[in-house]
Structure 1
C-alpha cells in the first residue's frame, strides 16, 4: 500500500508521513518488507486494535497489530498494519516472538501490557502456544513523557498519568484524534480512516521517542563541552594530591575515585565508554549483541524496562464485589429503602427504655467537626477511641456508652447486627446545618445557659466553682500559658475536670456564644 494522502494526524511536527503497508498474507511483498524491516530496525513502536468485548469471561481478539519501524541504517520510517484476521498467525508467530525479546531492538509502546495480554490470547486461540510472555527491552511512552518534564532543583516531579492524545499535544504539538478507538476493528475491509488512525498511533510513538532521543543527545554534548573548559592543570593537581604522604592519603584517593565513578554514572556522555556486551541493568538480564548507537545504548541502560506476563495475567478477571453488589434488584431496593428511613427512635437515653434522659452521641471520623459543635451547645458528644476504628468498634462503643452513632457513611447502616435506634446518618454537609439537623431530628432542647458548658477538647465537664487568676496561673503550670493581658481584668477561669484545660470569658468566648445563639435560633424561641 502506498503513502496515504496528507492528514491532520500527520502534522509537520511529526515529520514526513511514513509509508503505510497493510499486511494480509505471508506470501505478499508487504510481508517480505515487514520481515526485512523487523530484522534491520533498532527501534519499533507497537500498538494493537480490537473490537470492544462486553463479555468479561474472555479476552477480546486482537484484529490489527500496528508496527512502526525505524531502520537502523537510515532515518526512514515505515508503518505496517498486520491484519491478524487475514494472515495465517503461525506464519508470523516466531517472527514476532523473536523481535519482542531481541536485545538489539528497542520496543516502544503506550501501556502495552494489556495489548500484549490480548495479543498472546489471540495467538494461543490459533494454536500458537504458549503465546507471548515478555517484551524487552521496552520503553513506555509515559516514562519518556515524565523524563521530558521540566526539572526543578530540589523538587521531585510527580509521575504523570496522561492519555496518549494529551502527550502528543504537549510533546509534538499535534491533536491526535481518538474518535475511531472504539470502532469495530473486526469488520473488513478496513476504512481508509481506520488505517490512517491506526498508523498514526504507532507513528506518534516513534516521534515522541525522537524528541526524547534528541534531548538526551544534547545533554551529552553539553556535558562534553563543559569538559573542554576544564582547567588544563587538572591532572597535575590530582597528582599533587596523590603524592601527599600523610595518613589521609588512602582516604583522599578512595573518596576521589568514588566521586569520579558517581560523575561518570550520572552524566549522559558516559554511554561512550559502555561495552556493548555489558548487561543492561542488574535487574534486567538481556544483553546487547551488536553494534548499537552509543546514545541509544545509554537510553536502554538508563530507561530500558520489560513487560513480563504472569499466569494470573492470562486469566480474565471477574469482580466478585460487583457480582454481589448487583446480584438482585429487589435486594438493592430493600437496602436503599432502609438507608433512606428517617429516625424512628427511641434513643437509648430515653427514660422509657431505661435511659437517664441526657442525650449522648458518638461522632465517627467523618463528622468529628460536628462533635465540637455539639459540645459548644452543651451536648455530650464523644469521638472514637482510635483514629481508624472498625465498624464493630464504633458499634460496641456506642452500645456500651448508650450513645447514638452519628455518621455520613451509608455503608454502616447495612450491617445486620445494628439496632435501628443506635445509628443515624447525617444528610447535611456543613457543620452548622448538621448541628441543626441533629437538634431537630432528636428534638433536643438547647438553652443559652448550656452554651459553652463543655470542654470542646475532650467533651468533659467543668468544675463547679470558678478559679481566680492566681489559681488559674498555678493550675496551668506545665501545660498551658495564661496571657499576661488577662491578669488585670478580674476574670473567672473554668477548668475541665478531665483534661484540665482552662477557659475564660474573653472575646472568643462571647463571639462563640453569639454564633450558636444565631445558629440554634435561640432568640426566636423567646
Structure 2
C-alpha cells in the first residue's frame, strides 16, 4: 500500500521563549482550539530515584475556524529553554477547559512527569488533571473492523500500529530513545515529535467522520453495527502514483461541542460567534450523535499523591544457587557472540540465517525481513523466557533481545541468545549483520513478507489475478489497474505487494543503511 507521510502537512513551530512570534501563535492556537493532541518527550533516567524532567511538550491544535482536516498547527514547546511560568497558567487552564477535547496515548505518565518538571522549577502545585480527555486506544477499539456476531476483545497496540491501520501512515519510532535533553534538536527529532501529536488529531478526525456517517445512515449510536471493512478509514486520491492518502473530512469539532453542550462553552461563546448557516450546518441527528460521543468517551486523568512519587523496587533478593562466577560466565556468553549459530550445517542446521526477535526488538524483525533475512516473532504476545528459548531451539534460531533479565536464566543454551546493544532499528540491523557476518545483496531486499515473515510465490500475479486474489481480503486502488504492474503474494498470509513508490523508497533506504552502494 502506498502512503503519504502526513507529518509534512502540519505547520511546526518551535517555541523557546515567551517574546517570540512562535509563542504568540502558540497562545492564540491554545485559546482558539476545539481539539488538541498532547505528547511529551524526555531523556530516560532508568534506575534513578527521581522522575526525569520533560524536555519537550508537543501540542497539535485544530482551530475553531479551520475547515480543512489537514490544516493543523503543531507546537513544540522547549521546556528546557522557555521560562516555565510563562506557559504554566495557560496550560493549566487548557488542561481542564470543558470546551477543549484533549487527546493522548497513555498520557497519564506524561502528565506525571510534566507536573514534576514544572514543580521542580517553581510552578507549584503543577498539574493534577486533564479533562475532557479521550485516549486514542479507546477510539481505535471503536474504529477497528468488527465481525458480526463475534465479540472481539479489546487490544492494546502501539501508536505506530494504530496510525498504520487507521490512517495508512508509517509512523517511525526510531528516535523514541534519542537524547531529548541535547540541544539543538535535529530536524529529524522535530519531525518525529510533531508527528506523534499530529496523528492523534488525525485519528480523531477519522473517528468523528465515521460516527457522523453512521448517524446520517440512521444507525443508533448506542447500538452501532459497523461493516466488516470501513472504506472511510483510508480514502485514496486518484493520482498517477496513487501515493496520497487523506482522512475523510469531518464537521468542525468546536461547533459540535458548542452546539451540543452550550452549558459548557460560555467562555468560547463570549469570544467567538458561531456561524451555523454555511459549511457548519449540522442536523439534529448529527448533533445527538456527537453529544453522545462526548458523553460516552469523554474521560479524565486525575493524579493522586501516590502518582507523584517515583516507584521504587521492593523485590527481595534471591541467592543464586550457581554463585556469582557462574552468573558472570552466563553474562559473558551472551554479551558477545562465540562460535557458530544454530543454523550452521555443522550443527545440523540448514545454512540459512534465522532469528527470533522478542517484543523488545520487534521492530528489528521487520527490518531484517526487509533485507531478506528470516526473522520471526514470538508465538504469543506475552511469552515467558522458557517459551522464547523453546521456540528458538525448535526452529534453530538465534534469540535477539534487549532484555537483561533473560540473561539470568540457567537454562539458556550457549550461542542461542544475543543481546542487542543498539537502540535504533537501523543501528540494530547493522549490528546483527556485522555480528553474524550476514551477506546482504540488493536482490534480497524486500523479498520477504514484512507482515508475517512468509515467502512470496515464485511467479508474479497479473492485475486480473491480483484482483481475484484480493476479493474480501485487500483493496487494490483503481489507479494501479492501467500500469501493467506485477503483484506478489505471500504464501502464508496472502498479503499482496506491488512495486510502487513505497517499495522503491524502501529499497533505496536499505541500500543506504546496509551500505550496498559502497
Q: What TM-score do the two structures reach when normalised by structure 1?
A: 0.49
**Structure of greater Rg:** 1
Give the TM-score taking structure 2 as reference length.
0.50
Structure with bigger RCO (C-alpha 8 Å, 6+ apart): 2
